[in-house]
Amino acid sequence: MPLEKEIEKLVRTLALKNALDHDGKAQLDAVLSKFLGSRPDKRAEIKSLIPDIKSAVQAVNAMAPADQKALLEEIAPGELEAKKQVESGPRLPALEGAVMGRVVTRFPPEPNGYPHIGHAKAAIIDEEYARMYGGKLILRFDDTNPLKEKLEYYDAIAAGLQWLGVKPDIVKNTSDDMAKIQELGKKLVQNGGAYVCTCSQEKIRDLRSKGLPCECRRDRSTALDRIGNMFSGSYGPNDAIIRFKGDMADQNTAMRDPALFRIIEGEHPKLGSRERVWPTYDFAAPVEDSLDGVTHAMRTKEYELRNALYFAILDRLGMRKPAMIEFSRLEFEGVPVSKRKIRPLIDDGTIQSWDDPRLPTLSAFRRRGFVPEAIRKFVLSLGITLAETKPPFESLEAFNRKIIDPVSVRLFFVRDPVEVHIEGAREMEVTLKNHPTDASLGSRKVRVSDRVLVAGEDAANVKPGDEVRLIELYNIKVRDVEREDGKVKSIRAEMGGDEIRQSMPKIQWIAKNDILDFKVMIPKELYVGDEYNTKSLEMASGCAESFVSTLKPDTKVQFVRFGFCRIDGNNTAILTHR
């Protein structure tokens, strides 16, 4: 019987799309499952449709890829374009004033901690724009505070970016340019654009809040001596700072003579103890951006008030000014994305390492089973708006799921196992598919006797008389549920029929002679409101199929009805997401 017109078109479209995804060869299984996905009403008659669907797939597979493309464009215009969009992901809007081949962006992390998803957002946007205009991306370690920076963090940031697939064209440190930066600072003092202030911190704070200048601001005669004292060591760390000569009464408090240099004595990871007069971020950022040839400087919105200072400094030094673009800080509900919030938990031992799966660091995302492409697509989907809305964490999960779902091997894990005795079941060998639609992911053989384990939660939901499907095995009919202290201890059952009914619970199981003791870490929200969530890490204990022991750490799997996980060790995995 020939297919109805509408059905025929759907089947051909699905076959063509599937073929174009798989080197020109569509797979019947995949087409069938997609078909039933869009036409669940045809489930009952699928058996009678299969021969025609099969020949439609064969016809598509006989075509050359170019012809497949042309036919898809003809019968389902728009599908190819939509497919391209999904593959290439969302794009950023055009950059104002950008000239092809001339754009230079920079990502300037301070090496004072591990990179997190917020840094990923900044770095990816910087990189995307550089690529979009055939320009350059600079990775510049913003390392001008020897008390906070460590070599470990430079390495962690470089490793995080590499994992993300962000490839800077130039890698440098702000500290490489110390001599130039200090020269420019001195120049600014000499030309009256800045001054050395020897007032106490309290006095500075007080006058700043009152909007009043101090005497140091007026006294230019001693400027050179004072600078000399800062560099020579005659002044101690809190004796003097270089301040920008702004306006102490400015509405914008960032312009009330902010510090441009301070004295810090400490071992710098790159320069040792050679330097003692260090620029602040407010001075180093504009000067470095200008010297580095940055055309478009991007940073998060909380620096907004400091933009005036950024440009005033460059004005006074007569230096070229980059364009400044702001975007919103990335935060998630319950997961603060800031070193300021993460570091205390590490320092006080609440969290052992920077790759703890509850953290929003890149190493944690990696360990948890997220793939870098998902992070990039997610970041680009946010765009560069200034809206302060926190995206739901689920949206990042959705991008990841879409990428790992087609390649994750399906396996069984049962949490809090309960034994089921299937009376009269004979020992048999079953072949389980590693993936429901992709046969290339292979299969595995399991020997099953009359005893299997099921998850405690599933066991708690059955009662005598129920019929339950053991996925890819057979149905069982529950005869007796033995409880102890209200908990199910064991179940007795008999083999049921083989017919799968929609209403029947379908549960995963493990053959009793095929057990691997196994634990899955389940990361939860790190914070509840402003409080650390003491229940943020849950451990699910149970059994996995022994096959799991053959998987290398880092393999991504899906434990059926449990969630996507990344194998973390011999007997442990981490839940990536459901």
- Residue 110 or 176 having the CB closest to Mg ion: 110
329 interface partner picked from Mg ion, ligand ATP, none, CB below 5 to 8 A per type: ligand ATP
Cα–Cα distance for residue pair 133/103, rounded to 1 Å: 6
Neighbours of 255 (CB within 10 A): 18
- Under the criterion CB under 6 A, does residue 372 sit at the interface with ligand ATP? no
Cα–Cα distance for residue pair 341/533, rounded to 1 Å: 13
Rounded to a whole number of angstroms, the minimum distance from the CB of residue 414 to Mg ion is: 46
- Under the criterion CB under 6 A, does residue 362 sit at the interface with ligand ATP? no
Span near ligand ATP by CB under 6 A; candidates 57-65, 337-345, 398-406, 567-575: 337-345
- Under the criterion CB under 5 A, does residue 148 sit at the interface with Mg ion? no
Rounded to a whole number of angstroms, the minimum distance from the CB of residue 342 to ligand ATP is: 8
Cα–Cα distance for residue pair 274/186, rounded to 1 Å: 18
52 interface partner picked from Mg ion, ligand ATP, none, CB below 5 to 8 A per type: none
Q: Which of residues 411-470 bind ligand ATP (CB under 6 A)?
A: none
Distances (CA, A) of 275 to 172, 248, 280: 18, 30, 14
Rounded to a whole number of angstroms, the minimum distance from the CB of residue 528 to ligand ATP is: 20
Those residues with Cβ within 8 angstroms of residue 531's Cβ, 6 or more apart along the chain or in another chain: none
- Residue 355 or 438 having the CB closest to ligand ATP: 355
- Under the criterion CB under 5 A, does residue 373 sit at the interface with Mg ion? no
One residue of 340, 426, 463, 535 binding ligand ATP per CB under 6 A: 340
Instruction: Name the residue number minimizing CB distance to Mg ion.
Output: 110
Cα–Cα distance for residue pair 427/413, rounded to 1 Å: 21
The alpha carbon of residue 43 and the mean position of all alpha carbons in its chain are separated, in whole angstroms, by 38
One residue of 150, 316, 329, 561 binding ligand ATP per CB under 6 A: 329
Taking residues 271 to 300 in sequence order and writing x for each that binds ligand ATP by CB under 6 A, - otherwise, the string is: ----------------------------xx
- Under the criterion CB under 6 A, does residue 122 sit at the interface with ligand ATP? yes
One residue of 17, 119, 268, 401 binding ligand ATP per CB under 6 A: 119
- Residue 110 or 219 having the CB closest to Mg ion: 110
Rounded to a whole number of angstroms, the minimum distance from the CB of residue 329 to ligand ATP is: 4
What is the DSSP code string of 270-318?
A: TTBTS--EEE-HHHHHHHHHHHTT-SEEEEEGGGGGGHHHHHHHHHHHT
- Under the criterion CB under 5 A, does residue 110 sit at the interface with Mg ion? yes
109 interface partner picked from Mg ion, ligand ATP, none, CB below 5 to 8 A per type: ligand ATP
One residue of 11, 109, 282, 462 binding ligand ATP per CB under 6 A: 109
276 interface partner picked from ligand ATP, Mg ion, none, CB below 5 to 8 A per type: none
Neighbours of 125 (CB within 10 A): 21
- Residue 287 or 565 having the CB closest to ligand ATP: 287
Q: Please, what is the end-to-end C-alpha distance for the chain in angstroms?
A: 42
- 40 exposed, middle or buried (CB, 10 Å; 0-12, 13-18, 19+)? exposed
3-state DSSP of 200-257: CHHHHHHHHHHCCCCHHHHCCCCHHHHHHHHHHCCCCCCCCEEEECCCCCCCCHHHCC
Rounded to a whole number of angstroms, the minimum distance from the CB of residue 195 to ligand ATP is: 27
Those residues with Cβ within 8 angstroms of residue 555's Cβ, 6 or more apart along the chain or in another chain: 409, 566, 567
Span near ligand ATP by CB under 6 A; candidates 62-70, 116-124, 228-236, 436-444: 116-124
Question: Dihedral, CA atoms, 18, 64, 72, 54, nearest 10 degrees?
Answer: -50
In terms of Cα–Cα distance, which of 178, 377, 188, 174 is closest to 294?
174
Question: Dihedral, CA atoms, 125, 127, 131, 133, nearest 10 degrees?
Answer: 60
One residue of 17, 118, 262, 276 binding ligand ATP per CB under 6 A: 118
Neighbours of 483 (CB within 10 A): 11
Q: Which residues in this chain contact Mg ion in the complex, by CB under 5 A? A: 110
Q: Which residues in this chain contact ligand ATP in the complex, by CB under 6 A? A: 108-110, 118-119, 121-122, 299-300, 329-330, 337-340
